[in-house]
Chain A
Amino acid sequence: MTRANQADLQQQRIAYLGAVAASLSHEINNVLATVGELSGLIGDLADGAAPDARAALERFSSIGEKIERHVDRGKGYVASLNRFAHSMDRPRTAFDAGESVAAVVAVCERFARLRKLTLRLERGAAGPELRGSPYDFEHLVFRAIAAGLAAVEGGGEVTVVLSPAHTGAVLEITADGQPVADAEQETRLALVERLGLELGADVGLGAEPPAVLRVRLALPEDLGSPEAERSS
């Protein structure tokens, strides 16, 4: 790989972190705004001195439940943010690929919602376990899902399937719906291919009717190891 390509890849790695942090902080802000309005509403209702005290108590209780739900939602985003920050701690470690993919899917749900797409994840209860950089793996998953989300018009569906394989894992991302003509898509797919090859994956990209796009990544158990690089 040329120095220019390496610099570009490094830039993409940093941009990915920025995208994750921005998305999660946006969601946290939404949670805070909603909790702020709900707690303000409690104050308004209390000021209004409802003549029917029982009805007022029921409203307070219902609003309290909503606040609790949003606090839990906020805690989930903070945990995700913390998890992503720590995914860079060790360049090589054993990790649960299923948990990693689920975390990336959770981040991408906002992007799917903004495009009015459905994003689905299918995976087993745990694993498969891979070794390597969780950060680089999650970056690859993020870029592959982003390509899937960019491939179809609103109303479409993007499915992420993670399955264990004999020597590692297979990740498939399928986009179904009305195709989008997007000049940037070629660049997105080229990045997915580069990142996949860096980790020693076999990369399959393309339309497979009726799917508008299918990304297939056959990942070795040992991501980006010299053995994996030799066999790719």
Chain B
Amino acid sequence: MDRCAVLVVDDELEFQEALVERLRHRGFEAASAADGEGALAQLEQRPFDVVLLDVGLPGIGGIETLERIKRAHPTIQVLMLSGHADVKLAVRGMDLGAFDYLVKPVPIEELVYRIEDAFQTKRLAESVPDED
């Protein structure tokens, strides 16, 4: 089974670095970006399976980043990460195609479970042939 490639998008640098290292420790391929523009640039350069996307990003923000990701890479699964204040935005993200949302801080076991779930969903979506 291929390793799941995860892109962590968060402007809290040390949160992002620690999470990437912890995901690698658990067998994921993990990389990071500090804002939506950086995430979109990375997605153009190499494939990812799951994006962990903070809702409250600087610049274009989490919601617009989500919309652009889903437009350009429809099968990539996006897990929204939010603070308590941003839960409404994260729920809106679900309407825009996010796989799920989690409220920070998230226990690593729960996060890993959701990432694996999202990864399976992506693989399933890619294995279903287009109807047309």
Nearest B residue to A39 by beta-carbon distance?
B18
Closest Cβ of chain A to B84, distance in Å, is: 6
Query: SS class of chain A's interface: helix, strand, loop or mixed?
Result: helix
Segment touching B, from A27-35, A178-186, A198-206: A27-35
Inter-chain contact total with CB atoms closer than 8 Å:
60
Query: SS class of chain B's interface: helix, strand, loop or mixed?
Result: helix
| B117 CB within 8 Å of chain A | no
Residues 8-54 of B at the A interface (beta carbon under 8 Å): 11-12, 14-15, 18-19, 21-22, 25
Is the pair A33, B104 in contact by a Cβ cutoff of 8 Å?
Answer: yes
Complex: A77 Cα to B86 Cα, angstroms: 18
Is the pair B22, A40 in contact by a Cβ cutoff of 8 Å?
Answer: yes
Given contacts A33-B104, A66-B14, A115-B58, contact A44 B22 (CB under 8 A): yes
Is the pair A38, B58 in contact by a Cβ cutoff of 8 Å?
Answer: no
Residues of chain B contacted by A122 (CB below 8 angstroms): none
Is the pair A37, B85 in contact by a Cβ cutoff of 8 Å?
Answer: no
Complex: A32 Cα to B84 Cα, angstroms: 12
| B56 CB within 8 Å of chain A | yes
Is the pair B84, A29 in contact by a Cβ cutoff of 8 Å?
Answer: yes
Residues of A within 8 A of B (CB): 22, 25-26, 29-30, 32-34, 36-38, 40-41, 44, 48, 63, 66, 70, 113-116, 154
